[in-house]
Amino acid sequence: MTIAHDPARQPPGLYHLFFVEMWERFSFYGMRALLVLYMVKGFLKYDDKQAYLVYGAYGALVYATPFIGGMLADRVLGNRLAVVWGGLLMSMGHLLMTIENVTVFYYALGFLVVGNGFFKPNISTLVGKLYKDSHAARDAGFTIFYMGINLGAALAPVICGFIGEEKGWHYGFGLATIGMLIGVATFIAPRSLARLLILFTVLGTSIATIWTMRDDSLQLTITLPFLGALLLAGAVATWQLGRGGLDPTVGHAPIDSSRTGRLLCYIGAIAAVPVVAILLQRDALAGSILTLLGVCALSWILYSAFRSHKVERERLFVVVILMFFSMLFWAFFEQAGSSVNLYTDRNIDRVVGGVPVVVGQTYTNTPIDDQFVGRTINGKLWHLNEVDAAELSHSKSKSEGLTTFTATEELKNMRVGGREISTSVFQAVNPGFILLFGLVASWLWTFLSRRNLEPSTPVKFALGLIQLGLGFFAMWYGATHFDERGVSPMMWLIVGYLFQTTGELCLSPVGLSMITHLSPARMVTSIMGAWFLATAFSSYLGGAIASITGVHETADLGGVMVTPVPLETVSVYANLFYGIAIIAVAAGLVAWCLSPLLRRWMHEGVTPPQVVEAKN
């Protein structure tokens, strides 16, 4: 097994796991980019609050199950079998999302929740096992791994999201299914075959995407940089795997594991799917169970801590405290998939280019786009629902979704002839920034570490929260500077994502590294599961926070149910963003004040005894 001591030369197994995780995240975020939009605009026709609560319960259970999956891997399955089994379950979930049936919809989410529980903690644990004692190398490696996560997360909205919104929801979910299956195949393949899989799937994805988007120059322009990153990553991984691969002896089932035990795990996972499907429809019950799991996990960690040697005990205290700050961070950050997603859909000017109308001039056979939303044209106040329907008609037949109008004084700020960016594509902004700045962050931590100037992990957490707050301040500013329709420029949304991204780079990859570094070896996968369980609380809390912004469709003069115009919704989002910004910055300052104590408790450079009989 290759162990990384030099941060500049990472173990080749990292690049194998990089692509496994990249494809899994492609499938996960492809579905996530569409989920709330699908529930609100698709056949379900949920109102905002109902969609947010389902989204929150789904996110909570997605991050709750890794605690159980981590423990089962430690005791029965091993990391490798858990990753494969989880990937297959998630593939089934994505496939079922292509079927428009309410019961099947919730079963699909159930498969995704259970599968993620096996996959997520174990792939991260395998990365941690590539390293021995080099803290700087571990942080750098996890940042590179985190870039794989975000390469998949960036490609997903611009490919699955675009295809789902423009061509049909089932096509978007189908692409997510294919991505997950590629990830599983790459993981189980031997090194030589894995190199070929990586090379051919990267080339095939790039060619197929360019061909599909050949008639949409704006979407293709947005997508090309991400495809370039994919091709570069594929070339690097193919080259690096020539040096070696993932040690085939690492991550197998424990010696005392039985075939019967593994079979029971598989049966139990399938049996859990309908239970999860029911919980997703009863968010209050899901919240109660999540609370119970959280109390049990926290009690177990504290029990283990108080029975451990002083060094292990205080390190586990650090893990628990930083879990709390991480939970707060992700509760706010996860608004991207819920409230920020619908804010982007309803209150952001997503039309690029075009020319201002000339008052008094008549425009014939003009394609209807988001420039119509919130405006009265030909005596009709256009709502988002109606514009979406017209755009879908136009995508199917270029002779439909058109209108003729004469520009009045009230339309002087309107533009025609522009190209519209799909809502889900904006969810690629955050992972896109990570691709730009991820290596910079990795290099920065290594550079500072060599000069004994690197901030401690608690300080990085504090910086992450403060920058997250600044990001929401930017979104709040944009939401308070809107036009006569209640629509804001996309610039402030992108600035907000930029600050959130730099905050995420301070906290998230460092958090994963911290778990593998501070946790006792005998319980590292279980602690990793508890880390994701804390994130489950974040998702549940995030769904509750988003529900504050929930708006209900109302009947227009024709009796059709429509979404309120942007001018009626913009202040709701502005108030939410402002409140989140204040709390995030305050929490960051508290974490900063606690950092000296937490740094002492981390006991850097100290190796605790491997066998501990009792509390000191």
Lowest average pLDDT, out of 2-16, 35-49, 500-514, 562-576, goes to 2-16
Domain-located, residue 2: no
Q: Is residue 124 part of a domain?
A: yes
Residues 110-130 have pLDDT tens digits of 999 999 989 988 888 888 788
Which pLDDT score, from 0 to 100, does residue 559 have?
54
Instruction: Tell me what pLDDT residue 387 has.
Output: 87
Residue 588: in which H helix or E strand, if any? Answer: helix 566-602
How far is the C-alpha of 160 from the C-alpha of 312, rounded, in Å? 44
pLDDT, residue 203, reads 93
Does the pLDDT value for residue 8 go beyond 80? no
> Is the residue at 71 inside a domain?
yes
pLDDT of amino acid 185 = 92
- Whether 608 shows a pLDDT value over 60: the answer reads no
Residue 285: pLDDT over 70: yes
**What is the domain extent for residue 384?**
352-420
- The answer to whether position 136 is within a domain reads yes
Length of the chain: 616
Confidence of residue 466 (pLDDT cuts 50, 70, 90): very high
pLDDT at 107 (0 to 100): 95
pLDDT over 80 (residue 140): no
267, 393: one domain? no
Query: Are 295 and 168 in the same domain?
Result: yes
The average pLDDT across 234-245 equals 86
* Confidence (pLDDT) at 134: 57
**Lowest pLDDT segment from 211-220, 283-292, 569-578:** 283-292
DSSP reduced 3-state for 488: strand
Residue 92 pLDDT grade (very low, low, confident, very high; cuts 50, 70, 90): very high
Kindly state the average pLDDT of the residues 567-582. Answer: 93
Residue closest to 17 by CA, chosen among 224, 250, 207: 250
Q: What is the pLDDT of residues 372-429, one digit of tens each?
A: 998 998 888 888 888 888 887 887 778 888 899 999 888 988 999 888 888 888 989 9
pLDDT of 178 above 70: yes
| Bridge partners, 356 (sequence order) | 415
Helix (H, G, I), strand (E, B) or coil at 404: strand
Backbone phi and psi for residue 338, each to the nearest 5 degrees, phi listed first: -120, -90
Contacts 24+ apart (CB under 8 A), 250-256: 250/1, 250/79, 250/126, 250/129, 251/78, 251/79, 251/80, 251/83, 251/122, 251/125, 251/126, 251/129, 252/78, 252/79, 252/80, 252/81, 253/76, 253/77, 253/78, 253/81, 254/74, 254/75, 254/76, 254/78
Q: Is the pLDDT of residue 558 over 70?
A: no
Please list the residues that pair with 403 across neighbouring strands: 366
Average pLDDT in the 444-469 region? Answer: 88
d(CA 350, CA 158): 14
Structure-model confidence comparison of residues 605 and 224, the more confident one: 224
Q: Which of 366, 386, 420 is the last residue of a domain?
A: 420
Asked whether the predicted pLDDT for residue 601 surpasses 70, the reply is: yes
Give 612's pLDDT tier (boundaries 50, 70, 90): very low
Among 133-147, 175-189, 573-587, the range with the most confident prediction by mean pLDDT is: 573-587
In a domain, 611, yes or no: no
The CATH number of whichever domain residue 203 belongs to comes to 1.20.1250.20
Whether residues 407 and 431 share a domain: the answer is no
Burial state string for 345-365 with b = 16 or more CB within 10 A and e = fewer than 16: bbbbbbbeeeeebeeeeebee
144 band by pLDDT with thresholds 50, 70 and 90: confident
- pLDDT tens per residue, range 148-162: 888 999 999 989 888
| Same-domain status, 342 and 369 | no
Residue 397 phi/psi, 5-degree rounding, is -145, 120
In a domain, 372, yes or no: yes
Q: Assess whether pLDDT exceeds 70 at residue 606.
A: no
Q: What is the pLDDT of residue 139?
A: 66
Q: Read off the pLDDT of each residue in 206-222 and give the average, rounded to a whole number.
A: 86
Furthest-apart CA atoms within the chain: distance in Å: 87
Residue 135: pLDDT above 80?
A: no
pLDDT at 504 over 80: yes
3-state secondary structure of 88: helix
- Which DSSP state fits 12? T
Task: Provide the pLDDT for residue 607.
Answer: 60
Share of the chain above pLDDT 90, in %: 29
Q: How many domains does the chain have?
A: 2
Classify each residue of 561-589 as buried b or exposed e, where b means 16 or more C-beta atoms within 10 Å of its C-beta.
ebbbbbeebbebbbebbbebbebbbebbe
| Number of neighbours of residue 210 by Cβ within 10 angstroms | 13
Residue 137 has which token pair? 């190398």
Same domain? For 406 and 469 the reply is: no
**Residues 341, 362 share a domain:** no
610 occurs within a structural domain: no
> How many C-beta atoms lie closer than 10 Å to residue 25's C-beta?
24
| 525 in the same domain as 389 | no
Looking at the structure, do residues 444 and 379 belong to the same domain, yes or no?
no
The first and second tokens of residue 480, run together, are 């308070």
User: Residue 364: pLDDT above 60?
Assistant: yes
Q: pLDDT higher for 436 or 584?
A: 584
How far apart CA 76 and CA 79 sit, in angstroms, is 9
pLDDT band at 611 (very low <50, low <70, confident <90, very high): very low
Q: Check whether residue 394 and residue 511 sit in a common domain.
A: no
Apex 430 CA angle, 206 and 492, nearest 5: 125
- Residue 608 is assigned to a structural domain of this protein: no
Last residue of a domain, one of 386, 420, 454: 420
Residue 3 has pLDDT above 60, yes or no: no
Cβ atoms of residues 21 and 251 within 8 Å? no
Same domain, 546 and 594: yes
Both 322 and 403 in a single domain?
Answer: no
227 and 333 share one domain: yes
pLDDT of res. 267:
92
The proportion of the chain whose per-residue pLDDT surpasses 70, expressed as a percent, equals: 93
Where is mean pLDDT largest: 118-122, 307-311, 500-504?
A: 500-504
What does pLDDT average to over the chain? 85
Higher pLDDT, 294 or 455: 455
554 or 131, greater pLDDT: 131
Domain boundary pick from 420, 447, 472: 420
> What's the CA gap between 247 and 1, in Å, rounded?
5
Comparing 223 with 4, the larger pLDDT belongs to 223
